[in-house]
Structure 1
Amino acid sequence: MKARPKKTIETVHQCCGSPLEPTVPTRRVANVCWGGVDLAELLNEIGVDANARFLWSYGLDGGEFAGTSCDWYLKDLPLERLSAGGVLIAYELNGAPLPAEHGFPARLVVPGYYGTNSVKWLWRLQLAARRADGLFTTTLYNDASDARDLAAGLPPRRPVWALAPESIIVAPAPDAAVALHEPVEIWGWAWSFRGIAGVQVSTDGGINYRHATLEPRRGWAWQPFSLQWRPSHRGVAQLCARAIEAGGAAQPVEGARNAIHTVRVMVE
């Protein structure tokens, strides 16, 4: 693999949380740089059967999870995702050899998709005309479709693939003290598969929102946002951030892994 041209991708990388609690936000997220082989170029060189629609990826970890025994960690990926670019078989993380806990010697990396799809300890790839039948493609990591999806004829279960719009407030930190009438910068990160078009910030627990300054998207990386705030009342203030992606979808208030992030601060 290292004899082939190396491609480097900077991307946000997010765990979608426990598949047993799909509506609980965990916000285990970072922005990292991967190095490896471009998967689309590799497959084009090998040649892909016209009937293939999915790529099955096998990881060298197995065992029992949620009462079911699995020989391998198996995920699938729609081949059409490759057209958006950036999918790698990675062997480097942030310029260093891939650590064992992150999938050494090689892992799949799918920018813009939740981390569960970036299979670690990769040992096999298989092209198929249908989705894989494993525990982590059928039962787990599948969300229930809402009424609009069902009315549109979509299946009752949707695979957890593309990153939903999300944002986090980095500063002020939770339970930080800020000064009355003094300027405070509220800033953080926002991301989604389709990119974020705007971020709104509330300083009153979600009653009113203001538009934050948002930097343009740069590849698959997350986008910084900021808002200047001058507290006018003493006491507890609830800061909220709501990301809106390019297609118009916004973060829900609650009941989803990408529910609105709230930070409590004290105005003194």
Structure 2
Amino acid sequence: MTDGDTLGAHDILEATGMPAPEGTSLELRPVDGMPTWFGRRLARALLRMVSMEENKPAQLSQLVTPTTGYFRRDRHVHPVVDPDTYRLQITGVAAPRVLTLPELLALPRETRVCVQECAGNGNHLQGSAGLCGQAVWEGPSFASLLELCGGPGPATHFANHGLDTLGFLKRGYHYGLSLEELTRARAIVAVTMNGEPLSRRHGFPSRLIVPRIYSMSHVKWLCHIEGKTSPHMGIHNRLVFTNKEHRGGKWVRVQARWIGLKSIVSDCRAAQGGGWLLLGAAWGGERPVAAVEVSTDGGLSWQRARLQPVGEQVARDARLASGEIDGAWSVFQFHWQPPGPGTYKIGSRAIDEDGNVQALDNDPNVHGHFNQTRVKWRMVAVPENRLPPGA
């Protein structure tokens, strides 16, 4: 097959996570951030200390990320919620109401397949870019909950509150979005993840899922949907998840929001017959991803990868058959024949349907840790005569 061909069924299995034979994968090392300062193992430990756990790199080239080991970014508090006493309160709407868990579970559900990503994923501090994943979520739509309450009433914005509290030391997490943003994203209140009830660490018994918006808005352990007539300006909206943008000659604080156009090479495994397969995913932006290009020489040249758009994979995976895929990533692979052993700098860039190309670096007019759309470079050391068994 030539670069740019559509993936066949066998290739899809390779691109979506079939395990490689032992010893035939190469480590892709970040070029900046904590993994380069402290080593990958210590960097992972340091991230866990601030309540971050990353997906394993190879899982980022799978269509659906396994629940076990799925990334998290939270506040050290995983509350134990009693399903018998749990209540979801909806206020500030036309007809406020409170739902028990059986009532919530009995509502009609919709399915969303979408990328979840920390807004700071892959910044110059973290480096490794593993704070993302893609799961299949199911639950009543946000819009249907409002209909159950007679409509939004006067509410134009909503603050969503979680149960992860430490009494007077910490309030439960809260984050606000406008009704327009929630409607545009087709948000749901998820009660299952990958076909199973939510685990405690993933937000049991319910969490907000907002496709195409960074996951600081995907409030876990959801207990209160609060309608408001003005934007919610809690600390996470006002200060934490913000950048500064240069506008009109001055720097203005702007909230992080919609996921930008990006991609990542996350796995390098030996290809049958020689060479290596570079595997990864591409997502984000305002328009669907139409192509991915890969560089193995630090950006001096780019070659087209073989992209499998998620829409073409729906028929092959029963988990996606009834789900909406707006905001889902597409997987890709590139068959690489290095000219010889040595250390190479590799990366990928996504291109959308309108021809917009993922930027090599962050916008100099934006300062901050969030919406990291730059190319994620990796270093890989290719050994001599390293082929898979039986090749």
Task: Report the CA distance shift for 1:249/1:265 in structure 2 as closer, same or farther (over 3 A).
Answer: closer
Indicate whether 1:62 and 2:165 are aligned.
yes
- Equivalent residue number for residue 361 of structure 2: 253
Task: Report the CA distance shift for 1:201/1:152 in structure 2 as closer, same or farther (over 3 A).
Answer: farther
Task: Specify every segment of 5 or more residues in structure 2 that has no aligned partner in the other structure, as ranges.
Answer: 1-103, 312-324, 363-367, 385-391
Deviation at 1:123, TM superposition (A): 0.8
How far apart, in 2, do the equivalents of 1:249 and 1:89 lie? Answer: 33
Kindly report which structure 2 residues correspond to 1:50-199, keeping only aligned pairs within 5 A, or say none.
51-62=154-165, 70-145=170-245, 147=246, 150-151=247-248, 156-172=252-268, 182-194=274-286, 195-199=288-292
Q: Which moved more, 1:213-222 or 1:117-126?
A: 213-222
Query: Alignment partner for residue 239 of structure 1, among 346, 370, 386?
Result: 346
1:42-91 Cα distance to aligned partner (Å, 9 max, x none)? 21342345653321101112359xxxx65231101121123335411111
- Equivalent residue number for residue 41 of structure 1: 144
Q: Percent identity?
A: 28
Task: Report the CA distance shift for 1:246/1:54 in structure 2 as closer, same or farther (over 3 A).
Answer: farther
Structure with greater helix percent: 2
Q: Is the contact made by 1:185 and 1:229 (CA closer than 8 Å) also made in structure 2?
A: yes
| TM-score using structure 2 length | 0.58
Q: Secondary structure at the match of 1:31?
A: strand
Deviation at 1:238, TM superposition (A): 1.2
| TM-score using structure 1 length | 0.82
Structure with greater strand percent: 1
Deviation at 1:246, TM superposition (A): 4.5
Kindly report which structure 2 residues correspond to 1:205-244, keeping only aligned pairs within 5 A, or say none.
205-218=298-311, 219=325, 220-244=327-351
How far apart, in 1, do the equivalents of 2:275 and 2:130 lie? Answer: 28
Q: Secondary structure at the match of 2:191?
A: strand
Task: Report the CA distance shift for 1:152/1:159 in structure 2 as closer, same or farther (over 3 A).
Answer: same
Query: Alignment partner for residue 30 of structure 1, among 99, 114, 133?
Result: 133
Q: Which moved more, 1:48-57 or 1:112-121?
A: 48-57
- Equivalent residue number for residue 297 of structure 2: 204
Q: How many residues align?
A: 255
Q: Is the contact made by 1:15 and 1:27 (CA closer than 8 Å) also made in structure 2?
A: no
Deviation at 1:151, TM superposition (A): 4.2
Larger Rg: 2
- Structure 1's consecutive aligned runs of 4 or more residues displaced over 4 angstroms after TM superposition are 21-25
RMSD: 3.0
Q: Secondary structure at the match of 1:259?
A: coil
Deviation at 1:183, TM superposition (A): 3.4
How far apart, in 2, do the equivalents of 1:5 and 1:178 lie? Answer: 45
Q: Secondary structure at the match of 1:83?
A: helix
Q: Secondary structure at the match of 1:130?
A: coil
Which one-letter code corresponds to 1:74 in the other structure?
A: H
Which structure is richer in relative contact order (CA contacts within 8 A, separation 6 or more)?
Answer: 2
Q: Secondary structure at the match of 1:102?
A: coil
Task: Report the CA distance shift for 1:246/1:126 in structure 2 as closer, same or farther (over 3 A).
Answer: farther
Q: Which moved more, 1:233-242 or 1:44-53?
A: 44-53
- Equivalent residue number for residue 265 of structure 1: 380
1:158-211 Cα distance to aligned partner (Å, 9 max, x none)? 2222112221213216xxx899x9433222111115332332210101221122
